[in-house]
Amino acid sequence: MDNLSRRKALSLGVALGLVGLANPAQAWASTGSAKGAAAGTGPEWIWDDAADPLMVSMLQNGHVPAINTAWESWVDNNDPLPGGLPADFAAYLGRVNRMPSWADPAKLARAADFNRRRDTYLFMLYGLGSGIMSTVIPREAKSVYWSAGGADMQDRAAKTFTFGYDLAELNAFKPDGQFVVTANKTRVVHAAVRHLLPQSPHWRAVADETIPISAADILVTFHSLGTYVHRKLLDWKIPYPPADQEAFLHHWQVAVHLLGVPYEHIPKTWAEAERQAARVLDPILTPSTEGIELAEDLLGLTAQIDLGVTRGFLNEFVRYVLSNEVGDWLGLKRDYAAAALVRTAWPAFILFREGLSPVMPGTFYMFDQFVRALAMLFLNKGSSGKTTPITIPTGNRAA
C-alpha cells in the first residue's frame, strides 16, 4: 500500500466514523463484502477504472461539449449510440451500456410493479427523506455544492429526479425504458467530477479526501436512498411482503452496479445492507456549511410547488421522516402545531389509505393532496414536464 493510498484510506476511515478500527476495510468486510476483507481492496479503494481515465482524456481534449450535444438524442435503452461521439468514448459505452448477466427479469418486473403500487410513499420518502438526508452526508454535500451543478440547485434537483423516475418507471430496465442510459450518463458524470473537483480550491479546502465519489461513497448514497426507504416502509407498517422487499433490493443492486460499483461490494440481502448502513451511513451524518445551504435551496424549491401545506408543515415533515436532530442541524424552524399533526395524523392516514383501518382521519384530504402533489412533482419530470438532460460538467462552481 503506498502512502497516498494509505492517506486516502485513513481519511475515508475518519469520514465513515471508523477511526479506531485498525483497518478501515474491516467495516466493509464485516458486512459481508468478502473481497473488502483484504486491506486495499475494499470499495473505499475503488473509483472507476473503466470510466475515470477515459473522462480525463475527454475533458483534456475538449470533447465534452460535443458529447453532451451528441447524446441528447440518446435516451431509450435500445437507442443506438448516437453519431458524433469520439471513438473511444463510443466503444466504452458500447461495453457498459447493458444489463449485468445476474440481473433477474422477474425480480425487476416485480420491482417495477411495486414502484407503481407504492409510488406516493416512495417519491415522498426519496424526495423529502433521502433528498434532505443527502445534505447531511458531508462528502456528498460538499461535492455537490462545489461542483458546477451546485450553482443551480433547481436544475440539479431536476436532473436527480430524472434518475429517480427513470428507475421507477414500469419499463425502466427494458429495451424501451430509459434507466440503463440514465445510469450510464450518471456514471460518466461522476467520472468527470472525480477529475474536476480535485482542481477546485474551494472543494479542496473542505474535503477530507483527495478523489471524490469512491464506490464506498456510492454505497453510502445507496443506503440513504434504498436502505432508508426500506426501513421507513417497514417502520410505517406499509404492506411490504418479502417478495416485494427482495425485488426492491434487486432493482437497487442493478442500479448501483450500473453506476460502476463492482458486484462483490453490493449487499446481497437487506440484512447485509442494514448492517452496512448502520456502520457507514448512520454514524457519519453531520451538518456542514454547504449542506445547510443546499437543504434550504431544496426545501425552498419544494415549497414553491403547491403541496397544500405550509413551509412549517414541510419542515416538520422532514423532521418526522429524518429526526429532530437533523432538523436542528439544518435550522428548520419549528411549527409545533404542524409537528403534532404530522405525528398523530400521518400514521392514521397510512392505516386508512392501506385499508387497515375503517376510520378516515379528518386530515385525509390534506395528506392526500400532499402525497399526490409530491408524486406529481416527480412524475411530471420536475416542473417542466419533460426530461432534463444529464450533462457532463466541464468545470466547477466558481464560488
> What are the residues binding ligand HEM (CB under 6 A)?
139-140, 143-144, 147-149, 156, 159-160, 163, 186, 189-190, 193, 212-213, 217-218, 221-222, 225, 256, 259, 390, 393
Taking the least distance from each CB to ligand HEM, the nearer of 264 and 354 is 264
* Cell numbers given for 36: 473488502
Taking the least distance from each CB to ligand HEM, the nearer of 216 and 350 is 216
255 contacts 242 by C-beta, under 8 angstroms: no
The string of DSSP codes covering 6-31 is HHHHHHHHHHTT-BTBS-THHHHHTT
Q: How far is the CB of 184 from ligand HEM (least distance, A)?
A: 11
Taking the least distance from each CB to ligand HEM, the nearer of 172 and 390 is 390
Q: How far is the CB of 154 from ligand HEM (least distance, A)?
A: 11
Taking the least distance from each CB to ligand HEM, the nearer of 7 and 343 is 7
CA Rg value for the chain = 21
Q: How far is the CB of 56 from ligand HEM (least distance, A)?
A: 16
Give the burial string for 296-328 (b: 16+ CB within 10 Å, else e): ebbbebbeeeebebebbbbbbbbbbbbeeebbe
Q: How far is the CB of 292 from ligand HEM (least distance, A)?
A: 17
Give the burial string for 174-203 (b: 16+ CB within 10 Å, else e): beebbbbbbbbbbbbbbbbbbbbbeebebb
**Closest among 224, 212, 298, 281 to 256, alpha carbons compared:** 224
Q: How far is the CB of 352 from ligand HEM (least distance, A)?
A: 33
Taking the least distance from each CB to ligand HEM, the nearer of 309 and 390 is 390
How far apart, in Å, are the Cα atoms of 337 and each of 107, 115, 316?
Answer: 43, 32, 9
Taking the least distance from each CB to ligand HEM, the nearer of 107 and 187 is 187
Q: How far is the CB of 156 from ligand HEM (least distance, A)?
A: 4
Taking the least distance from each CB to ligand HEM, the nearer of 43 and 327 is 43
**Closest among 324, 137, 331 to 224, alpha carbons compared:** 137
Q: How far is the CB of 67 from ligand HEM (least distance, A)?
A: 14
Residue nearest to ligand HEM (CB): 149
